[in-house]
Amino acid sequence: MIDPQSLIARSPQLLSTALGNGDLALLSLSNEKYFSANPLGRRIWELLESPRTAAQLQTLIVTEYDVSAEQCKADLDQFLDQMIGAKLLTLLS
């Protein structure tokens, strides 16, 4: 579980590109692995152009999508955990 006040940033050793179907392709230069994200994952990536807290991300997503705060938090925590585990995102605090 991610602390809501944790500051999250993109890892610097990545290349990313938006795909025509709304998805996002990511290439980790540090471990030479390819990753993809669906349109919501792409939106989270866009929101992290500048570091944000998990709480800020949740607020923005709930505002933009038809999702409850509880469901958003659960799904966002899972996504962020996976992205941090894959070293695509980093916790700054």
54: in domain: yes
* pLDDT confidence bin for 63, thresholds 50/70/90: very high
**Quick one: pLDDT at residue 68?**
95
1: in domain: no
CATH at residue 47: 3.90.930.60
**Quick one: pLDDT at residue 5?**
93
Which ranges constitute the DSSP H helices of the chain? 39-47, 54-64, 69-85
Tally the C-alpha atoms within 13 A of residue 49's C-alpha that lie toward its C-beta.
4
Write down the pTM of the prediction.
Answer: 0.89
Count: domains in the chain: 1
User: pLDDT of 9-53, one tens digit each?
Assistant: 999 888 899 898 899 999 888 888 899 999 999 999 999 999 999
Does position 1 have pLDDT exceeding 80, yes or no?
A: no
